[in-house]
Amino acid sequence: MRIAFLTAPEGVEQVELTQPWQAALKAGHAPVLISTESGEVQAFHHLDKADRFTVDEVVGEVPADSFGGLVLPGGVANPDFLRMNGKAVAFVKEFFELGRPVAAICHAPWTLVEADVVRGRELTSWLSLRTDIRNAGGTWVDEQVKICDHGPNKLVTSRKPGDLKAFCAAILDVFAEEMTAR
């Protein structure tokens, strides 16, 4: 199954991109790096520049329905940039309209808040987002990983890089369910 990994051109937390990516590859999925611009994305180790990754597709030029699921890696700058890009926000929202699974870690739920898809859902994130999530109508919980199946799709969220093992296991389970349902 093709899995979209949506990032901004700069600011994605490298480990939150690479660990789920590798887990998806090992499970037989086809991860695709989507960004708001062609070229490369600059990853970070917290605030320090890390590796660069080649963009496969540009948001707005590829339809969400060509993917079985979406992963939103964190980093502070990454989701802040994405939530200011109308095409990125529309791309995220389309996964919810299609009923496809979405996974978001750390600060990534900021993009979900902007897409207005957290209302009535239970999710977790980096602690500083809890008020934003509550103000957007979601219920914030302090859990390593939260799977919410309220609505037509499943939403998998995690708090931080330290939760990546549980996050990767949860997204693989949810993506496997999606493949079986198709």
Catalytic entry in 29, 45, 46, 107: 107
Tell me how far apart the terminal alpha carbons of the chain are, to the nearest angstrom: 10
- Residue 110 in contact with residue 136, Cβ under 8 Å? no
| Site of tokens 């993009």 | 111
C-alpha angle 66/87/2, rounded to 5°? 20
The encoded tokens of residue 35 equal: 């960004």
- Residue 111 in contact with residue 104, Cβ under 8 Å? yes
How many angstroms separate the CA atoms of 36 and 53, rounded? 14
Known active-site residue 107: yes
Among candidate residues 149, 113, 157, the one with its CA nearest the CA of residue 133: 113
How many angstroms separate the CA atoms of 169 and 136, rounded? 27
Which residues are the active-site residues? 107
